[in-house]
Every structure is written in structure tokens, then in C-alpha cells.
Amino acid sequence: MTDDDRPGPEPTVAGGVPGPADSADSADSAALDRANALLDRASTELSASTDRDPSPGLLPAVMQTVRAELRPGRLIPLPGSDGTLLVTETAVGNALVAHLDGLPELLVRRCTVRHQESTGQRPGSLDVALTAAVAYGTQTGDLVNRIRSIISVGAQQLFGLVVGHVDVEFVDVYPAAGTPR
């Protein structure tokens, strides 16, 4: 192991005095450390002030949407945040579709979410429209009821949002699992 490979103090210029680049790096490092400490403190305070833990599936679902979606839709303020925490309509829709992935007889093609602003007499709600393919032989009436239930429960659990309407349109039929093609 050479002297260059050993961990140790920052490099110095001749005479053992830190150079200008070392000072700038140290200042940047100190600023990053302070920012990380502030972020840690803020997240600790936020988690202490929240009455429920967010779903473990929420962050990955939202981040997938953020990376993939070019038109995220309008911003929806999350309940209890006084408008400081916002989520996009598309992020909500993608998270709800992830909840529907457990239904083997359903393939969601598109999910559109529209946030209806609250009025003086009625709280804000979501209108959800799905287009999907269904497995051949599936009782669609029962399936629609399960879809509406999963969407309503998912929106409440993940985001604390109320669903007003869920419209489901079946646009295709595919062979059920285990049937010959």
C-alpha cells in the first residue's frame, strides 16, 4: 500500500497548508452535512406529527411515475397538509393501478384520475376512469364492484383521498389463464 492509497487527511499543497480547492471542497462538504442534518430533522418531525405511517408501496409507486410520466396532471393537496404536500393526478392513478395488479382477471390499459376541488359544502374527491381488458369468462359485474372497492380503499390508505366515481370500461377480452389458445 502506498501513501496515496491510505485514508488520511485531505491533500495539501507544499508546506502542509490546505490549498484553495481543498477549502472549497471542505465548505461544500460542510454545507451538504448541514443540509442532510436539516432534512433528517424535518423528516423526523414530520413522521412524529403524522398520525399514520405512509404505505411502504407509496414511495416506489410515486417515484416510478415521476420518472416515467411527462404529463403528470394537476397537483392534488394531501389531506391534513394545509396544501404543503402535493401529489399529481397521474401518480395517484399509477399507485391505484398497482393495487389492481393483484386481480389476475384484469389488465388495466389506462387509468385517468381527476381531482374535484372541494366546495364549501362538499370535500374534494377523485373521479377515476379505467379502461381494461378482462379474462374470458369473468363475471364483469362482480369484477367492477371489486375494482371500485380496491380503488376506494387504496386512495384512502395511500393518500387519505376520497373517491367520488369510478368508471370502468372493458375494451378487450383475453384468454383466461390455463385455457388452451
Measured in Å, how far apart are the chain's first and last C-alpha atoms? Answer: 65
Specify whether 148 is located in the same domain as 114.
Answer: yes
Q: What number of other Cβ atoms are within 10 A of residue 178's Cβ?
A: 5
In tens, the pLDDT along 31-78 reads: 778 877 777 777 776 666 555 555 666 676 666 656 655 666 788 888
What pTM was estimated for this model as a whole? Answer: 0.59
28 with 100, same domain?
Answer: no
Tell me, rounded to whole angstroms, the distance of Cα 175 from its chain centroid.
Answer: 32
Number of domains making up the chain: 2
Do 33 and 91 lie in a common domain? no
Please state which of the ranges 53-67, 77-91, 141-155 shows the lowest mean pLDDT.
53-67
Structure confidence at residue 12 (pLDDT):
47
Three-class secondary structure of residue 2 per DSSP: coil
Is 86 in the same domain as 34?
A: no
| 65 and 141 belong to one structural domain | yes
Query: Could you list the residue range(s) of the whole structural domain that residue 163 is in?
Result: 58-174
Q: Are residues 111 and 144 in the same domain?
A: yes
Q: In this predicted model, which residue has the larger pLDDT, 35 or 99?
A: 99
Q: Is residue 1 part of a domain?
A: no
- Is residue 44 located within the same domain as residue 123? no
Q: Are residues 163 and 81 in the same domain?
A: yes
Considering the domain architecture, whether residues 29 and 76 belong to the same structural domain is answered as no
